[in-house]
Amino acid sequence: MIDTKKEQERDELHRAIWAIADELRGAVDGWDFKNYVLGTMFYRYISENLTNYINAGEQEAGNTDFDYAKMSDADAEEAREGLVEEKGFFILPSELFVNVNAAADNDENLNETLERVFHHIEGSAKGSSSESSFAGLFDDFDVNSNKLGATVAKRNERLAKLLHGIASMNLGDVKDHNIDAFGDAYEYLMTMYASGAGKSGGEFFTPADVSELLTRLGTVGKTEINKVYDPACGSGSLLLKAEKVLGREAVRNGFYGQEINITTYNLCRINMFLHDIGFDKFDIACEDTLTAPQHWDDEPFELIVSNPPYSIKWAGDDNPLLINDPRFSPAGVLAPKSKADLAFIMHSLSWLASNGTAAIVCFPGIMYRGGAERKIRKYLIDNNFIDCVIQLPSNLFFGTSIATCIMVLKKGKTDNKTLFIDATGECIKVTNNNKLTQANMDRIVETFAQRKEEAHFSHLASYEEIEENDYNLSVSTYVEAEDTREKIDIVKLNAEIEQIVAREQVLRDEIAKIIAEIEVGV
């Protein structure tokens, strides 16, 4: 049964977000402007999160009328050290979102106020265990950007509208709200902006349906995991699906990811906070995963989910050290310099736990191209690491219409076969994109879990069969497409042709008779 209240709250929230974004976009490109909307949402979130935490403690102690937002900065300073240790950050009462927003219309230096507040928030974590989680979080929130307005006054006017707009959003109180309001707002904004941002949007965000499918594939038969990891984590949407699918407590040791783009890296950390993941439960790094991996001390991971960039360039054999890297050396060859896809596969495999599963979105070309990529596929098949290859429908992702694949890796397979699933028809069309429904995902996951064969949908291929096909892993090689052409009854067709020919002869005879009569009359 549909939770009507929850859906009403979500619809209300989405309408409010759209209205705010539509009003405030102005000359700022939508995809750029999301940084301001999301940054302000984050500022409101951590302000309310800290206030609620402090107020709850005071109320438990019997001080029922206490409100941290009304406390003096001087008195609040006494609690700074303890709060940084417990929450990872500190905000003075005067610098809370609610107070800055209330004074915004009369603050001629609002841009400077916000810059100072953001600097103080990030600075509060310096020297603590949360420093890496907060450092640079507001870097993409440029309060002095000309995109906000040509003059300081115009920029401040827009910043004030932004604060008021976010303040008016019904994000509610955690205790009263039926939806994960901040997290839901984040995902809606990312979807809204990504859909209109072409390729750049897709670099930041994996659609929720694809994220859910990957997570479900990676957690079949499990109710909990130790850690989840994404080597190209983008804004963190894939990491957080584990929390939604399994539950927060079921991800025992946290969320790990690495992202090369600094803006996206900041978005990912903000996303963690907006989904109420504590600073001590996630570790997101900013570096090149292939050449400078940052989680050597944290691997292996029981769940790896990823949608790495398709066929990007990387160092490859230009870096003589990489062939000896324990992540890549087992295959005896490196992924091509112009196509890093299988380098991400090898990296993920290397860091996968013996009881773990990796579900990775792949560019179709890696399944059949020759050269080094064929050698890597051979290594993966020879060592029985590939559990399943799934062909997805086209047009699922922002910025590309290609039909992508999912490769599922395991180190502890119970058979020496590889399952191939043709899921190209498992979708519905929504506006300009295709979408996986729950029924679509259920069918794919059930087929995967049971490793069952179904005509025109799935096939369990033996090692010998894959070897005979020269290690081609394209799903179409193993799953015969259903012939949807109209079937013709040849016997019936011949009979109809005979009738047509006979009738044709009758007509010819009648025409000849008419012509003869005409000629006689002449």
Please give the pLDDT value at position 13: 77
Phi first, then psi: give them for residue 206, nearest 5 degrees. Answer: -100, 125
DSSP character string of 6-37 = HHHHHHHHHHHHHHHHHHH-TTS-HHHHHHHH
Please give the pLDDT value at position 196: 58
What is this structure's pTM?
A: 0.85
pLDDT along the chain (522 residues), means of 10: 64 77 60 79 93 93 93 96 95 98 96 97 96 93 87 92 88 52 73 58 69 96 96 91 90 96 89 89 96 96 95 94 96 96 98 97 95 98 98 83 92 94 91 88 97 95 97 96 71 82 82 78 60
108-141 pLDDT per residue, tens: 999 999 999 999 999 999 999 999 999 999 998 9
Please give the pLDDT value at position 511: 84
245-263 pLDDT per residue, tens: 998 899 999 999 999 999 8
Please give the pLDDT value at position 401: 76
Cα–Cα nearest to 88, from 52, 136, 50, 60: 50
Please give the pLDDT value at position 200: 45
Q: Both ends of the chain: CA-CA distance in Å?
A: 87
Strands 282-286 and 301-306: unpaired
Domains for the chain: give ranges and CATH numbers.
4-197 (1.20.1260.30), 200-478 (3.40.50.150)
In which element (H, E) is residue 389 found? strand 386-391
Please give the pLDDT value at position 37: 83
Cα–Cα nearest to 380, from 422, 345, 426, 415: 345
Please give the pLDDT value at position 31: 60
Angle at which helix 372-382 crosses helix 341-350, to 10 degrees, equals: 30
